[in-house]
Amino acid sequence: MEHIPAADRYQQKMQYKYCGNSGLMLPRISLGLWHNFGDVDNFGTATDMIKYAFDNGVTHFDLANNYGPSPGSAEANFGKILKNNFQGYRDEMIISSKAGHSMWNGPYGDGSSRKNLMASIDQSLRRTGLEYFDIFYSHRYDGITPVEETMQALVDIVKQGKALYAGISKYPPEKAKIAYEILKSNFVPCLIYQDRYSMFTREVETETLQLAADQGAGVIAFSPLAQGMLTNKYLHGIPENSRAAKSTGFLQKDQVTEDKINAARQLNEIALCRKQTLAQMALAWVLKDERVTSVIVGASSVKQLTDNLESINNLNFGCEELNVIENILVQINK
Ligand code: NDP
């Protein structure tokens, strides 16, 4: 049966922010489909999470060609969920996809060549059943393809109407700078820069955040919960139903280190004083930076998503609080 979205979905449940210098607003919290939406996952839970997100003002859904497993299945499942439940709501959604990581066999199924991007967006459109993506990203700088070639492909994708905006992900600053300039000179300014950013991974603070701001691009942070380590999930070991325990998860057990867990336990105490969960405080901490447009959270249940979306109710930090947090984080970021 077609889902009837909550009538009050835009009434103070979510906050929206203009993405860089563009006229496009994104929800401060977006939902990512990297894990938990593939054909190894529960389709009912995946459907419920999309419904819950949309009912609570999440208008942005982040995909990539290779999300699954199997690769491509997250796009196919998302397409099915849209078709079954959200016909008539396409104009209320921002749907992104990406190309650049290993996707199909042979020399053209990986990397950031024009050949890869052009074929990939057509495949992604077919899998999702969409007529266009709102944002299409170069998923990574591949170390070989000239940035000019990849950016020209993004420009053409936008000019062909297959995507409305272009984005780049995980570009080293010197390559990002070239990318911004090429896109701008072709009148397809880079809408958004996507990279990993959380209390546990802060490389973007050195150069990347300011570069995006200077170039008028928004920033969207992925893995803002450090794949679950910045939640209460691992405070007492690695539970069976966790990403770190699953064979299909990208979080390896040896990444769940003692120093991270110790830090998470201390951060959890601060979160409790703020009357938040650790997940909520970790998201608020990323969102406090004016240059960050949105965080892309992952979730394996509606309960987790509910927890995460509540962070929006308290995004403020006092100076003292920030100092205490900083003292905990320097221990692990040393
Ligand atoms: P998070 O850091 O938000 O981790 C999500 C995972 O943490 C969940 O799947 C769940 O894991 C656990 N979790 C989430 N909320 C809670 C909670 N409230 N309580 C307890 N556990 C919780 O993000 P992801 O690493 O999933 O990345 C988010 C999105 O970012 C991706 O879906 C993708 O769209 C994008 N991304 C982009 C990349 C790029 O290269 N551009 C790379 C990676 C991600 P569990 O299964 O253990 O329950």
For residue 330, how many C-alpha atoms fall within 13 Å in the half-sphere facing its CB? 5
Q: Is 194 in the pocket of ligand 1 (CB under 6 A)?
A: yes
User: What average pLDDT does the chain have?
Assistant: 97
Residue 260: count other Cβ atoms within 10 Å of its Cβ.
Answer: 18
* Candidate from 142, 233, 235, 276 with most ligand 1 atoms within 8 A of CB, to mutate: 233
Evaluate: CB of 233 within 6 angstroms of ligand 1.
yes
pLDDT for res 1: 67
Task: Over range 123-140, report the average pLDDT.
Answer: 98
Reply yes or no: is the peptide bond before residue 70 cis, omega within 30 of 0: yes
State the average pLDDT over residues 248-261: 93
For the question of whether the overall pTM of this predicted structure is more than 0.95, the answer is: yes
Tokens of 70: 């199997």
pLDDT over 80 (residue 333): no
Atom of ligand 1 nearest to the CA of 280: 18
Q: Is the CB of 296 under 6 A from ligand 1?
A: yes
Over the stretch 29-73, which tens digit does the pLDDT of each residue have? 999 999 999 999 999 999 999 999 999 999 999 999 999 999 999
Query: Which helix (H) or strand (E) segment is 155 a member of?
Result: helix 147-159
Q: Is the pLDDT of residue 177 over 90?
A: yes
**Interval 264-287 mean pLDDT:** 98
Distance CA 165, CA 94 (A): 10
Is pLDDT of 281 > 90? yes
DSSP letter string, 204-248? GGTTHHHHHHHTT-EEEEESTTGGGTTSGGGTTS--TTSTTTSTT
Atom of ligand 1 nearest to the CA of 228: 7
Task: List domains and CATH numbers for the chain.
Answer: 16-231+289-299 (3.20.20.100)
CA atoms of 287 and 212, how far apart (whole Å): 15
